[in-house]
Amino acid sequence: MDELDSALVQLLQRDARQTNRELARQLGIAPSTCLERVRSLERRGVIRGYHAEIDTAALNRGVQAFVAVQIRPLSRTVIDSFTEFVAGLPQVVSAFVVAGGDDFLIHVAVQDLDHLHAFLVDRLSRRREIISYRSSVIYQQAHNTVLAALDEP
Protein backbone atom coordinates (compact mmCIF):
# COMPACT_ATOMS: atom_id res chain seq x y z
CA MET A 1 0.00 0.00 0.00
CA ASP A 2 2.49 2.61 -1.21
CA GLU A 3 1.84 6.01 -2.71
CA LEU A 4 1.03 4.55 -6.13
CA ASP A 5 -1.62 2.28 -4.66
CA SER A 6 -3.21 5.18 -2.82
CA ALA A 7 -3.38 7.25 -5.98
CA LEU A 8 -4.87 4.29 -7.86
CA VAL A 9 -7.50 3.75 -5.18
CA GLN A 10 -8.41 7.40 -5.29
CA LEU A 11 -8.75 7.46 -9.08
CA LEU A 12 -10.90 4.33 -9.09
CA GLN A 13 -13.15 5.70 -6.38
CA ARG A 14 -13.77 8.76 -8.50
CA ASP A 15 -14.38 6.88 -11.75
CA ALA A 16 -14.24 3.11 -11.84
CA ARG A 17 -14.75 2.88 -15.60
CA GLN A 18 -11.62 4.68 -16.66
CA THR A 19 -9.55 2.62 -19.06
CA ASN A 20 -6.43 1.01 -17.72
CA ARG A 21 -4.39 3.06 -20.18
CA GLU A 22 -5.91 6.28 -18.90
CA LEU A 23 -5.12 5.30 -15.32
CA ALA A 24 -1.56 4.46 -16.30
CA ARG A 25 -1.18 7.78 -18.10
CA GLN A 26 -2.33 9.76 -15.05
CA LEU A 27 0.10 7.90 -12.82
CA GLY A 28 2.97 8.07 -15.28
CA ILE A 29 3.48 4.30 -15.46
CA ALA A 30 3.10 1.65 -18.13
CA PRO A 31 -0.37 0.10 -18.71
CA SER A 32 0.95 -3.37 -17.92
CA THR A 33 2.33 -2.17 -14.61
CA CYS A 34 -0.90 -0.39 -13.80
CA LEU A 35 -2.96 -3.49 -14.54
CA GLU A 36 -0.73 -5.55 -12.30
CA ARG A 37 -1.24 -3.01 -9.48
CA VAL A 38 -5.01 -3.06 -9.84
CA ARG A 39 -5.09 -6.86 -9.90
CA SER A 40 -2.98 -6.88 -6.75
CA LEU A 41 -5.34 -4.48 -4.97
CA GLU A 42 -8.27 -6.69 -5.93
CA ARG A 43 -6.49 -9.86 -4.82
CA ARG A 44 -5.56 -8.33 -1.46
CA GLY A 45 -9.16 -7.24 -0.89
CA VAL A 46 -8.37 -3.53 -0.85
CA ILE A 47 -10.75 -3.07 -3.77
CA ARG A 48 -13.97 -4.88 -2.86
CA GLY A 49 -15.77 -4.21 -6.12
CA TYR A 50 -16.97 -1.69 -8.65
CA HIS A 51 -20.49 -0.33 -8.49
CA ALA A 52 -22.64 2.02 -10.53
CA GLU A 53 -24.24 4.83 -8.55
CA ILE A 54 -27.91 5.13 -9.48
CA ASP A 55 -30.20 8.12 -9.06
CA THR A 56 -32.69 7.14 -6.35
CA ALA A 57 -35.49 8.96 -8.15
CA ALA A 58 -35.02 6.65 -11.14
CA LEU A 59 -35.52 3.70 -8.80
CA ASN A 60 -38.81 5.22 -7.68
CA ARG A 61 -37.56 6.05 -4.20
CA GLY A 62 -38.53 9.62 -3.47
CA VAL A 63 -38.32 9.38 0.32
CA GLN A 64 -35.43 8.26 2.47
CA ALA A 65 -35.25 7.90 6.22
CA PHE A 66 -33.27 6.53 9.11
CA VAL A 67 -35.02 4.24 11.53
CA ALA A 68 -33.46 3.80 14.96
CA VAL A 69 -34.56 0.53 16.54
CA GLN A 70 -34.22 -0.98 19.99
CA ILE A 71 -34.44 -4.76 20.26
CA ARG A 72 -34.41 -7.21 23.17
CA PRO A 73 -32.79 -9.46 24.13
CA LEU A 74 -29.47 -8.25 22.75
CA SER A 75 -28.13 -11.74 22.15
CA ARG A 76 -26.16 -12.76 19.11
CA THR A 77 -28.97 -14.98 17.92
CA VAL A 78 -31.51 -12.18 17.97
CA ILE A 79 -29.12 -9.62 16.47
CA ASP A 80 -28.12 -11.96 13.63
CA SER A 81 -31.66 -12.98 12.76
CA PHE A 82 -32.87 -9.37 12.85
CA THR A 83 -29.92 -8.30 10.67
CA GLU A 84 -30.72 -11.00 8.15
CA PHE A 85 -34.39 -10.00 8.13
CA VAL A 86 -33.60 -6.33 7.61
CA ALA A 87 -30.98 -6.90 4.93
CA GLY A 88 -33.50 -8.90 2.93
CA LEU A 89 -36.03 -6.09 2.70
CA PRO A 90 -35.93 -4.27 -0.67
CA GLN A 91 -36.61 -0.92 1.00
CA VAL A 92 -33.42 -1.15 3.07
CA VAL A 93 -30.28 0.55 1.78
CA SER A 94 -28.06 -0.31 4.72
CA ALA A 95 -28.27 -1.36 8.33
CA PHE A 96 -25.95 -0.77 11.26
CA VAL A 97 -25.61 -2.37 14.66
CA VAL A 98 -24.63 0.48 16.94
CA ALA A 99 -23.71 1.26 20.52
CA GLY A 100 -25.54 3.85 22.56
CA GLY A 101 -29.25 4.36 23.12
CA ASP A 102 -30.28 2.54 19.95
CA ASP A 103 -29.34 -0.94 18.82
CA PHE A 104 -29.97 -0.70 15.07
CA LEU A 105 -29.85 2.15 12.62
CA ILE A 106 -31.56 1.37 9.35
CA HIS A 107 -31.34 3.47 6.21
CA VAL A 108 -34.44 2.98 4.06
CA ALA A 109 -35.50 4.38 0.68
CA VAL A 110 -39.15 4.10 -0.37
CA GLN A 111 -41.60 5.60 -2.86
CA ASP A 112 -43.24 8.17 -0.58
CA LEU A 113 -44.37 8.86 2.97
CA ASP A 114 -47.31 6.46 2.67
CA HIS A 115 -44.94 3.64 1.84
CA LEU A 116 -42.61 4.65 4.66
CA HIS A 117 -45.50 4.42 7.08
CA ALA A 118 -46.60 1.10 5.61
CA PHE A 119 -43.04 -0.21 5.86
CA LEU A 120 -42.80 0.72 9.55
CA VAL A 121 -46.25 -0.53 10.50
CA ASP A 122 -46.57 -3.60 8.29
CA ARG A 123 -42.97 -4.86 8.10
CA LEU A 124 -40.87 -3.66 11.00
CA SER A 125 -43.41 -3.63 13.81
CA ARG A 126 -44.27 -7.27 13.16
CA ARG A 127 -40.96 -8.32 14.63
CA ARG A 128 -41.41 -9.31 18.23
CA GLU A 129 -37.84 -8.45 19.27
CA ILE A 130 -38.44 -4.75 18.64
CA ILE A 131 -39.29 -2.85 21.80
CA SER A 132 -39.27 0.60 20.21
CA TYR A 133 -38.37 2.48 17.07
CA ARG A 134 -38.28 6.04 15.85
CA SER A 135 -37.82 7.29 12.32
CA SER A 136 -36.20 10.41 10.87
CA VAL A 137 -37.01 11.49 7.34
CA ILE A 138 -33.99 12.68 5.34
CA TYR A 139 -34.23 16.18 3.91
CA GLN A 140 -30.78 16.50 2.31
CA GLN A 141 -27.72 14.35 1.99
CA ALA A 142 -24.08 14.82 1.12
CA HIS A 143 -21.85 11.95 0.12
CA ASN A 144 -18.08 11.77 0.14
CA THR A 145 -17.46 9.59 -2.90
CA VAL A 146 -13.68 9.62 -2.59
CA LEU A 147 -12.18 8.66 0.76
CA ALA A 148 -8.45 9.02 1.30
CA ALA A 149 -6.34 6.94 3.66
CA LEU A 150 -5.87 8.68 7.00
CA ASP A 151 -2.48 9.21 8.61
CA GLU A 152 -1.07 6.53 10.84
CA PRO A 153 -2.13 6.97 14.47
Which backbone phi and psi does 140 adopt, to 5 degrees?
A: -140, 160
Q: Say which residues have a Cβ less than 8 Å from residue 138's Cβ, sequence separation at least 6.
A: 63, 64, 65, 66
Binding residue (CB under 8 A) for its own copies from 50, 121, 122, 125: 50
Build a one-symbol-per-residue string for 27-56: x at contacts with DNA by CB under 7 A, - elsewhere. -xxxxxx-xxx-------------------
C-beta separation of 76 from 41 below 8 A: no
Q: Does 2 bind its own copies (CB under 8 A)?
A: no
Q: Does 22 bind DNA (CB under 7 A)?
A: yes
- 116: burial class by Cβ within 10 Å (0-12, 13-18, 19+)? buried
Q: Does 4 bind DNA (CB under 7 A)?
A: yes
Binding residue (CB under 7 A) for DNA from 21, 44, 117, 134: 21
Binding site for DNA (CB under 7 A): 4, 19-22, 28-33, 35-37
